[in-house]
Amino acid sequence: MFAIIESGGKQFRVREGQQLKVAKMADEAGSEVIIDRILAAGDQTEVKFGQPFIEGAKVVCDVLSHERDKKIIVFKKKRRKGYSKKQGHRQDFTRLWVKTIEA
């Protein structure tokens, strides 16, 4: 069974037993999170679509950890002006484990 969920303004296709990186959540590591913003859910034979969400559907996840992604370099330059700026950025994220999908 799979589901398409919305979390942090992004959409993810998830299945049971999968690890997932989403935008940072306020929940503690080790706690359980219920995501009820399900756009679509189904299996090999049948797929249900919501308008925009499926009512009564939910995905139960465990919060594994809060981490920071790899560093990216933000480099800005204006030619012939002597201006350049180098900056690094690391994005915070939450790692989830998908336990069950109920649709």
List pLDDT tens digits, range 83-99: 999 999 999 999 999 99
Closest to 3 measured CA to CA, from 102, 95, 97: 102
CA angle 18, 27, 88 (to 5 degrees): 80
What is the CB-side half-sphere exposure of residue 74 using CA atoms within 13 A?
5
> Which residue reads 């002006």 in tokens?
81
Quote the pLDDT of residue 16: 95
Asked whether residue 103 carries a pLDDT value surpassing 90, the answer given is no
Quote the pLDDT of residue 87: 98
Instruction: For residues 94 and 33, give the distance between their C-alpha atoms in angstroms, rounded to a whole number.
Output: 11
Mean pLDDT of 43-67: 95
Q: Which two tokens stand for residue 97?
A: 């484990």
Own/partner long-range contacts of 43-50 (Cβ < 8 Å, ≥24 apart): 43/1, 43/2, 48/103
Query: The pTM is what?
Result: 0.84
Model confidence over 24-54: pLDDT tens digits? 999 999 999 999 999 999 998 999 999 999 9
